Amino acid sequence: MNTYARLPVTFSHGEGCRLTDINGKTYLDALSGIAVNTLGHNHPALVKAIAEQAGRMLHVSNLYGIREQEQLADRLCALSGMSEVFFCNSGCEANEAAIKLARFYGHQQGIDSPVIIVMEKAFHGRTLATLSATGNRKAQAGFEPLVSGFVRVPYNDLAAIRAVAEHNKNIVAVMLEMVQGEGGINIATNEFQGGLRQLCDEKGWLLMCDEVQCGMARTGTWFGFQHAGILPDVMSLAKGLGSGVPIGACLTSGRAAGLFKPGNHGSTFGGNPLACTAALTTLATIEADALMARAVVAGAAIREGLAAALVGNKGIVDIRGKGLMIGIELDRPCGELVARALDAGLLINVTAEKVVRLLPALVITDAEIKELVERLSTLIRDFLSA
């Protein structure tokens, strides 16, 4: 189906942050499949682990014990401080699990019509419930009736959430991204996150962090909420978790743990041995190669490099980000930069109409950073002066 406005390029293979198309032209990949290829392309450790796992066993049902899944759950819980994991295959599925969990939790508290607070400009996925939670009217248009049970508030506005709580007794949870990706690289302040944690404790709500894009070491900590020193009740992961092999996860702790019993939720493919091996290898490689620290250093180098190269250009509204989640906001719609960059051998993305978004692999080298800064700043300068 015609669900994507595809760019006129088809790739045949990749290496690190480089992709080569079927005509032999190479590109610097600053998007990583939208924050998916955590370890870049063709990472030897990942290729080896996947090949070996494929030679042992690809899939068995969740009706049986799955050792790779148990190991991955243990690792994710140890790294996050969460206590349970449900595995699925994508971000929207991880959020669907979170939404079902919040409703289930509400019903157990005697709330028959549970409501989840969500943010303006949020992106949580394209299934009906996650689309309803998403704060983008364009994406929702034509798919009404949307799923009920969501109220929307401005991002980073604790007072707005308190105000909603005043007149709505059915609230059971707050769901948000710690850094909004599709919404334009908007960062939840540590004060907001801390205040939310406190408010959720006060009210008995679940704090649900959608870490599908900002998780997996991309912002310089394993998960985005760790910058604020808080622990959510629910966390969703996907995108970078398997470095390109599809896998999602919904983790719980505290009052959200222990809610689901056999029969309440499930997934045929979720957490199969191949996907879990890819995720275990991704985690191990991030750790072995100190890629969290690398995300901090590389992200700062890119932001500072762009700021220096673009200084004095009036069309630049803001250059912001956390680690390797970077947004360059312009004063005008700049979608056409994507095709211009492609021509110049650079893969970038534009989101929220005016924000150039960079999500390079955590293995990006210093030379690639230099090249990215030079090429992108030239493209932006030319675009702004045209």
Query: What is the binding site for ligand PLP (CB under 6 A)?
Result: 90-92, 95, 123-125, 177, 181-182, 210, 212-213, 238-239
Q: How far is the CB of 32 from ligand PLP (least distance, A)?
A: 12
Q: How far is the CB of 215 from ligand PLP (least distance, A)?
A: 9
Cα radius of gyration rounded to whole Å, the chain: 21
Q: Which is nearer to ligand PLP, 177 or 233 (CB)?
A: 177
Task: Concatenate the DSSP letters of all residues of 13-82 into one string.
Answer: EEEBTEEEETTS-EEEESSHHHHT-TT-BS-HHHHHHHHHHHHH-S---TTS--HHHHHHHHHHHHHH--
Backbone φ, ψ for residue 132 (5° rounding): -65, -30
Q: Which is nearer to ligand PLP, 181 or 184 (CB)?
A: 181
**What does the alpha-carbon distance between residue 233 and residue 206 come to, in Å, rounded to a whole number?**
6
Q: How far is the CB of 310 from ligand PLP (least distance, A)?
A: 26
Q: Which is nearer to ligand PLP, 249 or 334 (CB)?
A: 249
For ligand PLP, the nearest residue by Cβ is 91
- Cα dihedral 250/251/254/256 (nearest 10): 20
**Token pair in block for residue 36:** 């998916």
Q: Which is nearer to ligand PLP, 90 or 272 (CB)?
A: 90
Rounded alpha-carbon distances, angstroms, from residue 60 to 53, 109, 270: 12, 36, 10
Q: How far is the CB of 37 from ligand PLP (least distance, A)?
A: 14
Q: Which is nearer to ligand PLP, 90 or 186 (CB)?
A: 90
Q: How far is the CB of 352 from ligand PLP (least distance, A)?
A: 13
Q: How far is the CB of 223 from ligand PLP (least distance, A)?
A: 12
Q: Which residues contact 215 (CB under 8 A, 6 or more apart)?
A: 222, 223, 224, 235, 237, 239, 240, 241
Written as one letter, the residue type at 115 is V
Residues 282, 344: contact at Cβ < 8 Å? no
Q: Which is nearer to ligand PLP, 68 or 93 (CB)?
A: 93
Q: Which is nearer to ligand PLP, 235 or 373 (CB)?
A: 235
Residues 310, 381: contact at Cβ < 8 Å? yes
Q: How far is the CB of 357 from ligand PLP (least distance, A)?
A: 11
